[in-house]
A and B are shown apart, each in its own frame.
Chain A
C-alpha cells in the first residue's frame, strides 16, 4: 500500500469516528470558499498551459483548437528573442543579488550598531516607509528626479552642461532599476536580518568588549556569524527566484527606447499575449518561465537543506 492510500484510509476512519457530519461539516463549509478560490484562480489556469501545445483561437475555443505539438517551443527557442529575454531577466536578477542584497546586509548591521533605541526606531520608521508605496508612485517620483527635465538633469546641465537619458536609453535602465529597488525595499529587507540579530546573546558582545575587540572585529566575529544562516537562506531564495524580475517595476520603466535591455519574460508574455493576442505563443514563453522557476526553487530548497538549515518546505 502506498503512503497516500494509508492517508486516505486514516482520513475516512477519522471522519467516521468524529461523527460526520455534526462536528465536521462546519469546517468544510468554512473551507469551501477558499478551496474554490484556489481551484478556480490557481488550478484552472494550469490547464490553460495546455494551450502552449495548441494553436488557440478564441473563436473556436480551447478544446476545439488544433494541436500543434512542440511547434511553439521550437519557434520560441530558435528566435533571438529567447536569448535576449533570458539575458535581460538573469542580468537584472544578478544585479539585484550583487548590489541590492549586500546593501540590505550593510544597512542591517548599521542599524544594529545604534545604541540609542529612539534613534534606531526612527531610522527604521524612515527606511521602511517607501516599501509601502505603489510602483506607480515610485515611477512618478523617478520621473520627477531622473526625467528629461528632472532635478538631476537640471543640475548636470547647470554644472557640467550634460544631460543624461536616464529613462529612455539602454545604458541607464539596469542601474536605475536596481537603484529604485534599493530605495524602495532595501530598508524593508533589513526586517528579517534585524530579527536574526535580535536573537544573538548579548553576553557575546560583552565578552568581546572585555577581550578588547574593536567594533569592526565584533561585527566580523559576532554580528555576521549571528545572521549567517538567514543570509544563506535569503541568498538561495534569491537565486531560486532568478527568473522572476519585479514585473510591476519593469512594466512601468520599460519603453521603446530601452526595450533591448528591459524586455524580460513577463513583459514579453504581456506584449505577445495581451497586446498582439497571440495567446498560445505567449503561454509557451510563460510556461517556460514557470517551469524554469519551479526547478530553480526546488533546487534552492534542496541546497538550503544540504547546508543543514531548515528548508522552506
Chain B
C-alpha cells in the first residue's frame, strides 16, 4: 500500500513540475511587460515586478502600426472564419447525402489533396495570377477549408437521422430550407468547434501575410510581432537587419507586452476551445 502512495505522490509531483514549466514562462513575460526595461535588461528572473510600470502598454496602445495590425487581424479573422464556415458546411452537407450522384468521385477528388499538393511556389503563382496579391483574400481564400475539415463535418452530418429530412420534406420544406431550419440548429456543437478552430487558424497566421502582403501597413499582428522580437543575424527575410535594430530599440517590456497582447484573444477563448476541441480532435478518427 505504501508503494502505491509513493507512486501517486511522485506522479503528481512530476505533473505539477510539468505544469509549472508550462505556466511560468507566461508569468515571467507578464512580469517583464509590467516592469521598467532597466529591471529586466540583463535577463534577470522574477515572477512579480519589483516596480510596476505601464510604459510598455502605454507605448503599444499609442503605436499606430501596432493598433492597426490588431485591427487588421480582427478583420481577417472575422471574415476568414465566416468564409471558412460557409464553404466547409455547404460542401460537407452536400457530400453527406448518400443519394447525390457523383458523391464518391467528389470525395476521392477532395481526399487526394490530403496526400499530394502542388507546394508553395505553384500555390503562390495561382494566388498571384488571380490578382489577389496585397489583398486579404490572398490570406483567406487559399485557406478556406481543407479535406480534413470536410471529412469531419460530413461525418457529423451523416450521423443525423434521415427521418428528420423526410419529416421536413413532407411538411413542404425545400432542400435549402431543411439545411437552414432543421440541420443547422442541430449542428451547433460542430459549428462552434469549427468556428473556434478557424478563428485560431486566422489569428495565428503569419506566413501568408509575409508573402502576399507587400505593404506592412496591411499586416495582421503576427508578422508585426515577428518583426518586433527579431534578433540580429537573421537574414532569412530581406530587411531582417532593420527588424533587429527596431527590436533592440523597443526594450524587453514592450516586446513581451506585444507577445502577451498577440496571444490574448486565444487565451480568452481557450476555455471554450478546451471544451470543444478534445471532442473535435476525436471526431477526426471516426470513420464511416
Chain A residues near B (Cβ < 8 Å):
7, 11-12, 14-15, 18, 23-24, 26-28, 30-31, 33-35, 37-38, 40-49, 51, 62, 107, 110-111, 113-115, 119, 122-130, 132-137, 139-141, 143-145, 147-155, 167-168, 183, 187, 191-192, 195, 214-216, 247-248, 251-252, 254-257, 266-267, 269-271, 273-275, 279, 282-283, 286-287, 289-290, 293-294, 297-298, 310, 313
Query: Given A37-B87, A134-B204, A134-B206: A283 and B231 within 8 A (CB)?
Result: no
Q: A154-B44, A286-B122 are in contact. List 19 more A-B contacts (CB 8 A).
A: A18-B101, A33-B86, A37-B87, A43-B113, A51-B125, A126-B19, A126-B22, A126-B23, A128-B278, A134-B263, A136-B229, A140-B225, A140-B259, A144-B29, A147-B43, A215-B4, A215-B7, A274-B211, A297-B115
Of B25, B100, B120, the contact of A27 (CB 8 Å cutoff): B100
Of B28, B42, B205, the contact of A149 (CB 8 Å cutoff): B42
Q: Report whether B262 and A26 are in contact in the complex, using a CB–CB cutoff of 8 Å.
A: no
Residue of B nearest to A125 (CB): B274
Q: Report whether A287 and B100 are in contact in the complex, using a CB–CB cutoff of 8 Å.
A: no
Q: Report whether A46 and B122 are in contact in the complex, using a CB–CB cutoff of 8 Å.
A: yes
Query: Given A41-B144, A111-B15, A154-B44: A269 and B273 within 8 A (CB)?
Result: no
Q: Report whether B200 and A132 are in contact in the complex, using a CB–CB cutoff of 8 Å.
A: yes
Of B126, B175, B207, the contact of A248 (CB 8 Å cutoff): B207
Name the residue in A23, A111, A141 with the highest tally of chain B Cβ atoms < 10 Å from its Cβ: A141
Of B90, B121, B258, the contact of A30 (CB 8 Å cutoff): B90
- How far is A62 from B121 in the complex, measured between Cα atoms in Å? 13
Residue of A nearest to B143 (CB): A41
- For this complex, 21 residue pairs linking A to B, each with C-beta atoms less than 8 Å apart, are A7-B104, A24-B100, A27-B93, A27-B97, A34-B145, A40-B130, A42-B118, A45-B125, A62-B125, A136-B223, A144-B28, A191-B278, A191-B281, A191-B282, A192-B282, A215-B4, A273-B120, A273-B124, A282-B121, A286-B120, A286-B121
- How far is A28 from B120 in the complex, measured between Cα atoms in Å? 30
- In this complex, how many residues of chain B approach chain A with their Cβ under 8 Å: the count is 103
Q: Report whether B91 and A34 are in contact in the complex, using a CB–CB cutoff of 8 Å.
A: yes
Could you tell me the distance in whole angstroms from the C-beta of A258 to the nearest C-beta in chain B? 9
Of B145, B206, B285, the contact of A37 (CB 8 Å cutoff): B145
Q: Report whether B141 and A41 are in contact in the complex, using a CB–CB cutoff of 8 Å.
A: yes
Residues on B with C-beta less than 8 A from A149 are: 41-43
Interface of B is mostly: helix
Residues on A with C-beta less than 8 A from B8 are: 113, 115
Partner-contacting stretch, out of B55-63, B74-82, B185-193, B233-241: B233-241
Residues on B with C-beta less than 8 A from A26 are: 174-176
Q: Report whether A294 and B29 are in contact in the complex, using a CB–CB cutoff of 8 Å.
A: no
What 5 pairs between A and B have smallest CB-CB spacing? A34-B91, A48-B122, A45-B118, A154-B43, A134-B204
Q: Tell me whether B155 is interfacial, beta carbon within 8 Å.
A: no
Q: Report whether A147 and B120 are in contact in the complex, using a CB–CB cutoff of 8 Å.
A: no
Query: Given A11-B102, A30-B179, A140-B259: A49 and B90 within 8 A (CB)?
Result: no
Residue of B nearest to A233 (CB): B285
- How far is A293 from B119 in the complex, measured between Cα atoms in Å? 11
Residue of B nearest to A290 (CB): B119
Q: Tell me whether B11 is interfacial, beta carbon within 8 Å.
A: yes
Q: Report whether B43 and A37 are in contact in the complex, using a CB–CB cutoff of 8 Å.
A: no
- How far is A144 from B245 in the complex, measured between Cα atoms in Å? 16
Bitwise interface map of B from 1 to 15 toward A, beta carbon under 8 Å scored 1, else 0:
001100110011011
Query: Given A49-B122, A113-B11, A273-B124: A143 and B91 within 8 A (CB)?
Result: no
Q: Report whether A38 and B109 are in contact in the complex, using a CB–CB cutoff of 8 Å.
A: yes
